[in-house]
Amino acid sequence: MVPKILTVLFAFCLAFHASAQVPKNFEYGPRPPLSVFDPTGFLNPQLAKSISDPLTKIYQKEKIDVLVVVLTDLAGAPPEHVAKRFAQAWCTANIHAVVLHVPGRKDSPWIVPAGKLLEILNPKEVLKSLEEAQRRAAKEVTEPDKVKAAATEAADMLRYWTSNLINHSEQVQTERSQWIQKATEKARFRKMGLLLLAASTIPLVLGASMLILFLKNRGPRSFPSRDLQPRLGAPYSGGNFAVVKIGAPDL
């Protein structure tokens, strides 16, 4: 009974969390299980699956999200705006792209990348790669083939950029480690130098103290050293037993 209640509660929490992720005013609802959203069935199921399967695999392994969206029209909105709305609603990966296609539009499909990692990339390089990818995809003969080509181009692009960033980050880390190692070695040498200096200070100080004492004993207000000579009958005798008496003479 208790496990059942817990399961129901857990499922409720998950559903609540999932629904909370989707903006409330997103008219297309939650993201579908496939990486292809084609409500009108423009792409045949086999082609949709052949596009979606590799994208799903890439997302599972590399957390790179490419979403394909096919709409009948954009209601006058710019394609990038529509694509970004889908991305905001359905994509959470650090780098993702929406491939948006409107059947019949000559400038379609559009590839719109987004995500935190994109902010680190060189915008000129991004734009150049994007233009080349869209241009190649647009050269396909049929529209479904254009969509497939655009999805492949987008995935290749994002995978390359992500790995390139990782390589760059690793290179920076390696250089930083090498710099820290050099700094540590320098610090060690400095430490050894200080230790040697400290060790040599003690005999120096002792030597200096002794020198000061020696020089001090030679100067004024210093008593000459005593010269001890043996005396007959010393210490009790003095003057060869001569006694001197001062006072009235004895009568």
Partner 1 sequence: MKPARFVLPLAALAVLFSACETKKTSAETAPKKETAAQPDTPILPAKKGDTWRYDVTLEIPANTTGADAPEVKESSTRTRTYLGKVSPAPDRPEVDCFEVITADGSSAEREFVEIYNDRVLMRGSMTMLPKATKPIWLDRAIPFVISGMKAGTEMPELEIASGGVTRKTRVVAREDLSVPAGLFPCIRILMTGKDGDIELRRTTWFSPGTGIVREEKTRYRQDKLIYREVQQLMETSIKRP
Q: Which residue ranges make up the site for partner 1 (CB under 8 A)?
A: 61-62, 132, 135-136, 138-141, 156, 159-167, 170, 173-174, 177-178, 180-181, 184, 191, 194-195, 197-199, 201-202, 205-206, 208-209, 212
- Minimum distance, C-beta of residue 127 to partner 1, in the bound complex (Å): 16
- Minimum distance, C-beta of residue 175 to partner 1, in the bound complex (Å): 10
Residue type, 171: Q
Q: Which is nearer to partner 1, 56 or 88 (CB)?
A: 56
Q: Which is nearer to partner 1, 19 or 164 (CB)?
A: 164
Asked whether the beta carbons of 74 and 82 are under 8 A apart, the reply is yes
Tokens 């820290």 locate to 180
- Minimum distance, C-beta of residue 171 to partner 1, in the bound complex (Å): 10
Q: Which residues are registered as beta bridge partners of 69?
A: 37, 100
- Minimum distance, C-beta of residue 166 to partner 1, in the bound complex (Å): 6
Q: Which is nearer to partner 1, 116 or 188 (CB)?
A: 188
- Minimum distance, C-beta of residue 178 to partner 1, in the bound complex (Å): 6
Asked whether the beta carbons of 100 and 108 are under 8 A apart, the reply is yes
Q: Which is nearer to partner 1, 74 or 165 (CB)?
A: 165
Residues written for the chain? 251
Q: Which is nearest to 109 in space by CA: 36, 44, 206, 182?
A: 36
Asked whether the beta carbons of 89 and 25 are under 8 A apart, the reply is no
- Give the Å distances, CA to CA, from 72 to 67, 78, 247: 17, 14, 152
- Minimum distance, C-beta of residue 71 to partner 1, in the bound complex (Å): 24
Q: Which is nearer to partner 1, 13 or 187 (CB)?
A: 187
- Give the Å distances, CA to CA, from 249 to 243, 245, 246: 15, 9, 9
Q: Which is nearer to partner 1, 84 or 159 (CB)?
A: 159
User: CA geometry: angle at 233 spanning 231 and 238, to 5°?
Assistant: 75
Q: Which is nearest to 145 in space by CA: 32, 49, 51?
A: 51
